[in-house]
Each structure stands twice: as structure tokens, then as C-alpha cells.
Amino acid sequence: MSRILTGDRPTGALHLGHYFGTLANRVRLQHEGHEVFVVVADYQVITDRDEPGPLRDTVRELVRDYLAVGLDPDRTVVFPHSAVPALNQLLLPFLALVGKGELERNPTVKDEIRSAGRATVSGLMLTYPVHQAADILFCKGELVPVGKDQLPHLEVCRTIARRFNERYAPVFPLPDALLGEVPVLRGLDGRKMSKSLGNAIALSDPREVIAAKIRAARTDSARTITYEPDTRPDVANLLTIAGLCSGRTPADLADEIGAAGAAALKAHTIEAVDALLAPLRARRAAISDAEVSRVLKRGIATAREIADTTLAEVNAAMGMDVIAL
Ligand code: TRP
């Protein structure tokens, strides 16, 4: 059995990209008996903006998303990293293990800096991958279910673990990424499916919203539906989404829809997405506020205990444990 650690930024409702990228994996791993930790990365929200937004609500909605997709509240440890002081303290020794050049070369951070379009880059923006290493290593996470965009961060994490172990003492495992079925799902406008681009189908979207979004999605002028990702990316993306939701291959679906055209493809996609999301909506509706609080409270208590132990080990390895506390 492995310890699994993964996380999300609380910036809005989780969507299909998250579902197929990592959420489905988390649930599967939990059913296989692994220990699953989910960090709500609230400090990461302020990497590219001044205002964190309505975080209290966003975090609680995120917990509802987790429970709705089937994470078991009695086994999954869910916590916002801001609530776990010892986790954050790991950032200090970890920062000493990476160079400025390494931070500046991180391709995901570079993309985020570009799309944030701000005059200055904050220190947190450059160093959050190091903080993310603390998210993973505080509990000695071994497997990290993520999308492809997170691979550079996982490399930073492995580098930090390796350097710490070599310099001080073998405290940390070297965590491995676990890529989902579709590492990067495209949104309804052809760009990457993303909360901030407004092109995503949220897991909590009601049927009418799903239908409206899919009806408005781009297709092309060719009448017959075929699966040709290189030349017909918009049609291929709808086929991919419908296929993922219904457990069929896009090519197979294309054959079935064929001459019925784009309207039929969209109708099919709406049905497939709604069939996947309807049970999630039903589960979500049954989750009380008290249940969300209970899950968070327990998650934070467990995370604090583990983080305290790891920090003590780290301090001891570095010779900073001057007196036993
Ligand atoms: N950076 C991740 C994202 O934007 C979220 C995240 C924070 C994370 N801490 C993590 C993912 C630790 C995996 C492990 O999606």
C-alpha cells in the first residue's frame, strides 16, 4: 500500500478535466486500499492574484466536490495547507536546496507568469513549486496523481527530497507522478479546459448548464462526424469527452454518429456527460454543512500530527534540535 498525496487550488468548482485527470484516479486508489491525502492549496491561490476571493466558500465547495466524486470521508485526509503550520515551515530548509535558476526555468511557472500578465512576479509565484514539495513530503507521499502540467513540480519535489537525503539524512521517499487517463483535457473552445478560461464543464453543473455549454461548443463545417484529432480538433474533443464519460473510444462513437452530424454529436455528448454527473449531483445534494466541517476538522488534525513528526525529523537531521521539546 502506498501513501498518495495530491491537491487542488481552491479557485473554483472542479471540472471534467480534473475528474479524468486526477479525481477518478484518487477514488480508484482509495478503493484499492491506499491512504489518500488531499491538500487544498489555499496559499497557491495568491501566486498570481492579490485577492484570494471567497476562500471559505470555495474551500468548502471543493470538499463537497471531493465527497461527491466518491472520496471516502472516513479514510481520506482533506486539509487546507494554511492550517498546518509545520508543513509550511518545511519550506525554509527546502528553499535552501534549490537554485534561483532552477526556479526560473520551471515551464509551468513560466506559463503561469505569462498568462497572469502582471507587471511583477511575486516571490511566491517563483517558489510555490518548493512549497508544493512540502505539501507532498510532509506526509512522505509516494504517489502523486496529477495532470501533465504538474510534472515539472514533481521533478522539483524529487530533487528536493534527493538533495535533502544526500545532504542530511535519508528522511524522504522520491515520489512518483501518476498521470490520469487524459492529462490535459481540452475545453469547449479548443484551449485547455480550465476554471479560469471559462470553457469548462463543472462537476456541479446542472443538466441545463451542461447542455447550453455543449451546444455552444465549436465544431466545424464538415457534415459527417469522424475522429481526426489533427485536422478536426473541435469535433475530436467532443468525441473524447463523450467517450470518456461513457467508457467508449472516440473512434467508435464517431462511427456510430457518422452522417447524423454535429447536432447529433452534441446531443450524444450532453447525454454522456449528464449520465456521469447526475449521480455526483445527487450525492452532493446530500452533504450537509456539518459534514463538510467534520471532514475538514479531522483532516487538519491528522495532517498537523504528521507534519509535526516530519518537521521534528527534519530538524533533527539538520542538527536543529538543540533541546528535546
Ligand atoms: N499545483 C496543483 C494545481 O494547480 C495543486 C497542488 C498543490 C498539488 N499542492 C499539490 C498537486 C501537491 C499535487 C500535489 O493543480
Measured distance CA(217)–CA(198) in Å, rounded: 12
Measured distance CA(40)–CA(177) in Å, rounded: 18
> In this model, does residue 183 exceed pLDDT 60?
no
| 150 pocket-lining for ligand 1 (C-beta < 6 Å) | yes
Of 69, 70, 76, nearest in space to 15 by CA: 69
Query: Residue 223 has which C-alpha cell?
Result: 457534415
Ligand 1, atom 10: closest residue by C-alpha: 7
3-class DSSP state for residue 133? Answer: helix
- Band of the pLDDT at 148, cuts 50, 70, 90? confident
Largest CA distance in the chain: 77
Query: Residue 291 has which C-alpha cell?
Result: 459534514
Q: What is the mean pLDDT of the chain?
A: 94
Query: 53 Cβ partners below 8 Å, 6+ apart?
Result: 11, 45
Report which ligand 1 atom has the smallest distance to the Cα of 147.
15
> In this model, does residue 131 exceed pLDDT 90?
yes
Q: What is the CA(325)–ligand 1 centre distance, in A? A: 32
Q: What is the CA(268)–ligand 1 centre distance, in A? A: 33
Axis crossing angle, helix 233-246 with helix 250-257, rounded to the nearest 10: 110
Measured distance CA(117)–CA(149) in Å, rounded: 19
Q: Which of 4, 62, 146 has the most ligand 1 atoms within 8 A of CB, as the residue to mutate?
A: 146
pLDDT digits (tens, 9 = 90+) for 118-129: 889 999 999 999
Q: Which of 138-147, 192-201, 256-265, 268-277 has the lowest mean pLDDT?
A: 192-201
Q: Strands, DSSP E only, in the chain?
A: 3-8, 35-40, 77-80, 143-146, 176-179
Measured distance CA(78)–CA(70) in Å, rounded: 13
Report which ligand 1 atom has the smallest distance to the Cα of 131.
9
| 41 pocket-lining for ligand 1 (C-beta < 6 Å) | yes
Percent of the chain with pLDDT over 90: 83
Report which ligand 1 atom has the smallest distance to the Cα of 153.
1
Q: Which of 14-28, 98-112, 201-215, 303-317 has the lowest mean pLDDT?
A: 14-28
Measured distance CA(137)–CA(135) in Å, rounded: 6
- Band of the pLDDT at 6, cuts 50, 70, 90? very high
Q: How many residues does the chain have?
A: 325
Percent of the chain with pLDDT over 70: 98
pTM above 0.85, yes or no: yes
The secondary element (H helix, E strand) that includes residue 267 is helix 261-285
Question: Average pLDDT, stretch 189-211?
Answer: 88
The per-residue b/e assignment along 235-250, b for 16 or more CB within 10 angstroms, e otherwise, is bbbbbbbbbbbbeeeb
- Band of the pLDDT at 184, cuts 50, 70, 90? low
| 134 pocket-lining for ligand 1 (C-beta < 6 Å) | no
Question: Average pLDDT, stretch 167-184?
Answer: 87
Ligand 1, atom 8: closest residue by C-alpha: 7
- Band of the pLDDT at 191, cuts 50, 70, 90? confident
> In this model, does residue 50 exceed pLDDT 70?
yes
DSSP 33-90: T-EEEEEE-TGGGGGS-S---SHHHHHHHHHHHHHHHT--TTT-EEEEGGG-HHHHHT
Ligand 1, atom 5: closest residue by C-alpha: 8
Of 289, 298, 292, 273, nearest in space to 67 by CA: 292
> In this model, does residue 323 exceed pLDDT 90?
no
